[in-house]
Structure 1
Amino acid sequence: MGWNIFNRKRTPGSLRDRDNAANNGESLPVQDTRAAIEELSKVVQNDPEAVEIYLALGSLYRSQGEIERAIQIRNSLIVRPGLDREFKARAWFELGRDFRRAGFLDRAEKAFHEARALGQDPISIHREMARLTAERGDFEKAAESYGQLDLPLPQAHYLVRLARDRFAEGNVSQGNRALRHAIRAYPGAVEAWLEQMTQAYRAGNANKIGDILGQALERVVPELRFVLFEGLLLALSQAEKARINSFGEETEWSRTCPDEKVVEVVVPIIETQEPDVLLLYYGAMLMLRVEDTDNARSWFEKALMLDADFWQARLELFDLSRADQTLTPFFKEQLSFFIGRARRVRRFFCRHCGLKRDQLFFNCPRCHSWHSIAFRTDITE
């Protein structure tokens, strides 16, 4: 029997209310999806036996965040007398996905078990159960499940998550073992290489950072190499904040190597690579951390020679030029405000669904694509 857990009055933010809002402030694809939902709803009302349409309608509701309606549709199918076993299995399966989307992980697991008992495809069940395990934080079991599914990329990702847990517990050997396993499973796992670099930095071993970076640049696909440098810069910033806030007490960042040492090993490695806009940009950003402004300016200029629309390099050059200008205090204040705002523009986006983020991600929060992150070199993207 299905569950009916949403018995509250609908709020003004319902689907129909939002569709009736003036222009709605939504993109055309979202408006089109909502229009399709309304049309399917009308068809279902006229033909209650249209099970396929019912299932599709429920999935559309789920994609739009209307989880209550999606669950109600699955329940209405599950309790329908004489429903074909195949359709009932699919209804339970989709109900499990609805519950997982809503965060009811235990109910999702029960629904998947019901779907399996009715003959739902075991591979699809296994994949959903692997996602459930990951969302519960059991990264070791999640990695094992994805390995069994022959999906090495998510397997490697959750091995990295496992490694982070082990490092947090102080179990360095098991953490390093999980990272090595991740790279064996998927050599292009940028998150595994980045975590290795971060651990080397925390241990104060600049030469090891260089060794790891050199290997990573050979194995990570070119469009993801910027993640290594973004992550390294983030680690340097975290260490700096920890030193400021530690008041002399030891932290996990206490043994890090000086920024000068990091730049000393990383910049020569970048120089061995083919000219690349993002590598030049991140090299310049590292130089700024050690106040090597002349070389940083030169690298930003080289990046713009490769891509004149690369707004981040242009912004940093503009900021560097402020010291050479005679400005009124008011103009300086306004300029600082706008530069600060520009730096907070979301720099990353998903190549598959277009989601914009200001932080690194390895699995898109919206469409769940793996390694789809990209850098917005053109601010209009």
Structure 2
Amino acid sequence: MDFDISLLLISLLLAFVLGWLASRLDLRQLRIENRQAPKAYFKGLNFLLNEQQDQAIDAFIEAVQSDPDTSELHFALGNLFRRRGEYERAVRVHQHLLSRGDLSQDDQHRAQHALALDYLKAGLLDRAEEALLKLEGTRFEAQARLALLANYERSRDWEHAAGIARKLEASGQGSFKGRLAHYLCEQAATLLAKADSAGAQSLLQQAIDSAPQVPRPRMDMAALLTKSGQAAQSCRVLTDALHASPAAIPLIAPLLAQSAIASGQVAETLELLKATYQEVPSLDVLDAIVSLEASTTALTPTARDWYARHLEKEPSLVAATKWIAGEKLEREAFHPQVQRALDHAVKPLTRYRCAACGFEAKVHFWQCPGCQAWDSYPARRVEEL
């Protein structure tokens, strides 16, 4: 049988044409898909910039379906779910990313960090801790440690919080000595509740050594010493605190007056507080001076005159109210009503106010109950701010 070479040439030509057509169709489909994915992606970004999160999520889902291998789309979608409070969906997106074998190591770390944030926002603190600990040694290490610190504070795990604070301090991420002092004080309070005075005193001494300028450790130490009958030592510790923490003098002065009265060191403490008051006029220092003078004699006009002297320096409804409390009015029968009205009026002025969120409280807090910020309460009362 003769071989017809023309048929072979026709077949080869036909195969070439079909192959060329198929490749053109594939390229065309690929171009269409590539155009569709960026279009949906940019449409989602546009919705996001206009704060239309529902439409943005729909657009990103469409983009992910068109191009399921693009990790950036998954990250954008997961973050959107978290911002909307849909933590379960955010977790699923980031877990899907972590399960992919084609993801780069840096993107794996990024997905791990995003997953940890999902757990934190959802309040799953144990899972968040586990996820954050896996980021040690990555570029997200510093962020993970800060999140861990917030996590341990939230769960009141002060021992682990202290460990993280030491790591952050050592890595040069800022000064965490003040935070560390507070964590040690919190641990000391826990030991005191278990009647472990020796352990509490040891932790408080560590706090004093690590952050000498922070007033709380010395104040807590003084309270512990006073409770154990060591008023003289308590007085000495508070005197040191007075010099080490000038900003906290209004908080320290009342405690110092109590320790001085208990230890019989009224005269020298009175002179110290008078000198302090000349430099830092404060209602709390004023009260401490009056209480010390009253402990030696009856509340004489001389002692009460301190409130009048304070009024010469600055107008103060609180000082005026306290001065009137011991003053005889012309119509004495109305004195209780007048005094009650004044006491009611000055109550808001004697509160402490958080500088971060404005939360007001009758007592001074080291950590704001409202915004959880540390050392955000000034030592002065509202009237003096």
If the TM-score is normalised by the length of the shorter chain, which range does it land in?
0.5 to 0.7
Give the root-mean-square deviation of aligned CA atoms. Answer: 3.9
Q: Give yes or no for the alignment of 1:267 onto 2:267.
A: no
Aligned to 1:316: 322
Question: Contact conserved, 2:352 with 2:381, CA < 8 A, in 1?
Answer: no
Describe the SS at the equivalent of 2:51: helix
Describe the SS at the equivalent of 1:324: coil
Q: CA deviation at 1:316?
A: 2.0
Question: d(CA) in 1 for partners of 2:87 and 2:311?
Answer: 51
Equivalent position amino acid for 2:248 in 1 = L
Q: CA deviation at 1:287?
A: 4.2
Question: d(CA) in 1 for partners of 2:237 and 2:127?
Answer: 43
Question: Contact conserved, 2:204 with 2:221, CA < 8 A, in 1?
Answer: yes
Q: Which runs of 5+ in 1 are unaligned?
A: 1-35, 62-68, 237-255
Q: Give yes or no for the alignment of 1:228 onto 2:247.
A: no
Q: Give yes or no for the alignment of 1:202 onto 2:227.
A: yes
* Structure with greater contact order relative to length (CA < 8 Å, sep ≥ 6): 1
Of 144-153 and 261-270, the range deviating more from structure 2 = 261-270
Aligned to 1:175: 200
Q: Give yes or no for the alignment of 1:85 onto 2:97.
A: no
Describe the SS at the equivalent of 1:173: helix
Q: CA deviation at 1:360?
A: 1.5
Aligned to 2:164: 145
1:332-379 C-alpha deviation (Å, 9 max, x unpaired)? 346415514633656112223332222221123344433221155554
CA 1:136–1:353: 2 relative to 1, 3 Å: closer
Q: Give yes or no for the alignment of 1:129 onto 2:154.
A: no
Q: CA deviation at 1:211?
A: 1.5
Q: CA deviation at 1:188?
A: 1.3
CA 1:376–1:171: 2 relative to 1, 3 Å: closer
Question: Contact conserved, 2:112 with 2:131, CA < 8 A, in 1?
Answer: no
Aligned to 2:209: 184
Q: Which structure: greater helix fraction?
A: 2
Aligned to 2:357: 353
Q: TM-score, normalised by structure 2?
A: 0.65
Question: Contact conserved, 1:280 with 1:302, CA < 8 A, in 2?
Answer: no
Count how many residue pairs are aligned between Structure 1 and Structure 2.
309
Question: d(CA) in 1 for partners of 2:290 and 2:49?
Answer: 47
Aligned to 2:53: 41
Of 259-268 and 143-152, the range deviating more from structure 2 = 259-268
Question: d(CA) in 2 for partners of 1:45 and 1:139?
Answer: 39
Equivalent position amino acid for 2:311 in 1 = L
CA 1:302–1:97: 2 relative to 1, 3 Å: farther
Describe the SS at the equivalent of 2:364: coil
CA 1:78–1:262: 2 relative to 1, 3 Å: farther
Question: d(CA) in 2 for partners of 1:118 and 1:162?
Answer: 28
Q: CA deviation at 1:182?
A: 0.5
Aligned to 1:105: 125
Q: Which runs of 5+ in 2 are unaligned?
A: 1-47, 61-72, 170-175
Question: d(CA) in 2 for partners of 1:43 and 1:91?
Answer: 22
Question: d(CA) in 1 for partners of 2:77 and 2:294?
Answer: 58
Q: CA deviation at 1:194?
A: 0.5
Report 1:26-37 matches (<5 A).
none
Structure of larger gyration radius: 2
Question: Contact conserved, 2:352 with 2:378, CA < 8 A, in 1?
Answer: yes
